[in-house]
Structure 1
């Protein structure tokens, strides 16, 4: 069993999972019980932590992490 570690919080991983599944900010916000602004903030933090700038890059990352 391979264990993947990442500097992302649980909520950031959850956000990444939703976005990688093709959900919009609004759909993600509703599913997580937060505002679209909060989803945007999570994604900005994810991008800053990981250096990925596009949604496509984040989606590839999510797939590689098994999300």
Structure 2
């Protein structure tokens, strides 16, 4: 993975990083969609945007990008999703 592709990864939105992180953790499109409470089509849209921004074409390269980005910054994976849901639940009970 070249440094230019990794640099392009810095332009990803929080949601795109979250999808990429969950994909790297082994979640399927369907399970990512359930976890993020979005449709599988939206997951696919996020991944297409990631591919467009980075030039990455295959799922294997997406995983390599996720690992490279995770080494330099923390991706927003399942841990972030859980904290967000817990925060939303606490916030809604007030």
Structure-2-length-normalised TM-score: 0.64
Matches within 5 A, 1:10-29: 10-29=14-33
Counterpart CA distance in 2 for 1:9 and 1:37 is 17
Matched with 1:40 is 44
Stretches (4+) displaced over 6 A: none
Matched with 1:62 is 66
Structure-1-length-normalised TM-score: 0.88
Counterpart CA distance in 2 for 1:54 and 1:21 is 16
Query: Which segments of 5 or more consecutive residues in structure 1 lack a partner in the other structure?
Result: none
What value does the CA root-mean-square deviation take over the aligned residues? 1.4
Asked if residue 30 in structure 1 is aligned to residue 34 in structure 2, the reply is yes
Counterpart CA distance in 2 for 1:51 and 1:59 is 13
